[in-house]
Amino acid sequence: SITRHYKFNVRLQNVTRLCHTKTILTVNGKFPGPRIIAREGDRLLIKVVNHVPNNVSFHWHGIRQLQSGWADGPSYVTQCPIQTGQTYVYNFTIVGQRGTLFWHSHISWLRATLYGPLIILPKHNVSYPFPKPHKEVPILFGEWWNADTEAVINQALQTGAGPNNSDAYTINGLPGPLYNCSANETFKLNVKPGKTYLLRLINAALNDDLFFRIQNHSLTIVEADAVYVKPFQTDTLLIAPGQTTNVLLKTNPNTNNTAFLMAASPYSTAASGTFDNTTIVGVLEYGKNPSISSFSNASLGLPFPILPLINATSFVANFTSTFRSLNTVKFPANKVPKTVQRRFFFTVGLGTNPCPKNQTCQGPNGTKFSASMNNISFSLPTTALLQSYFFGKSNGVYTTDFPSTPLVPFNYTGTPPNNTMVSNGTKLVVLPFNTTVEVVLQDTSILGAENHPLHLHGYNFFVIAQGSGNFDPKKDPARFNLVDPVERNTAGVPSGGWLAIRFQADNPGVWFMHCHFDVHLSWGLRMAWIVLDGDLPNQKLLPPPSDLPTC
Point out which residues bind ligand C2O (CB under 6 A).
59, 61, 74, 104, 106, 242, 455, 457, 512, 514, 516
Cβ nearer to ligand C2O, comparing 236 with 451: 451
Query: Distance from CA of residue 314 to its chain's centroid?
Result: 22
Work out how close the CB of 114 gets to ligand C2O at its nearest, in angstroms, rounded to a whole number: 12
Instruction: Tell me the closest approach of the beta carbon of residue 428 to ligand C2O, in angstroms.
Output: 15
H or E segment at 374?
Answer: none
Nearest C-alpha neighbor of 122 from the set 86, 139, 97, 148: 97
Residues in the chain: 551
Residue 401 identity: D
Closest residue to ligand C2O using C-beta atoms: 61
The pair phi, psi for residue 151, each rounded to 5°, is: -65, -40
**305 CB-near residues (< 8 Å, 6+ apart):** 213, 214, 215, 261, 262, 263
Residue among 104 and 213 whose Cβ is closer to ligand C2O: 104
Q: Which is nearer to ligand C2O, 98 or 514 (CB)?
A: 514
**Nearest distance from residue 59's CB to ligand C2O, in Å?**
5
Cβ of residue 53: shortest distance to ligand C2O, in angstroms?
23
Nearer to ligand C2O, 59 or 368 (CB): 59
Residue type, 54: N
* 454/494 Cα distance (integer angstroms): 10
Q: Which residues pair with 503 in a beta bridge?
A: 437
Between the CA atoms of 123, 128, 129 and 135, what dihedral angle is there, to the nearest 10 degrees? 170
CB of 106 to ligand C2O, least distance (A): 6
CB of 459 vs ligand C2O, minimal distance in Å:
12
The CB-of-346 to ligand C2O minimum distance in angstroms stands at 16
DSSP character at residue 64? -
Is residue 284 within 8 Å of 263, Cβ to Cβ? Answer: no
Q: Which is nearer to ligand C2O, 133 or 138 (CB)?
A: 138
In DSSP terms, 102 is beta-bridged to 61, 117
Instruction: State which residue, 398 or 511, has the beta carbon closest to ligand C2O.
Output: 511
Q: How many CA atoms lie within 13 A of 257 on its CB side?
A: 3
- Give least dist CB 536 to ligand C2O, A: 28
Cβ at position 56, least distance to ligand C2O in Å: 14
Indicate the residue among 118 and 541 with the shorter CB distance to ligand C2O.
118
**Residue 336 burial (C-beta neighbours within 10 Å; 0-12, 13-18, 19+):** buried
Name the H helices within 327-428: 385-390
Dump the DSSP string for 181-214.
T-TTS--EEEE-TT-EEEEEEEE--SS-EEEEEE
Q: Which is nearer to ligand C2O, 115 or 260 (CB)?
A: 115
Between 387 and 445, name the residue whose CB sits nearer to ligand C2O: 387
Smallest gap from Cβ 77 to ligand C2O, in A, equals 8
Which C-beta is closer to ligand C2O: that of 17 or that of 61?
61
How many alpha carbons lie under 13 Å from residue 143 in its C-beta half-sphere? 28
Q: Are 427 and 526 in contact (CB under 8 A)?
A: no
CA distances from 506 to 98, 437, 499, 540, 542 (A): 19, 11, 22, 10, 14
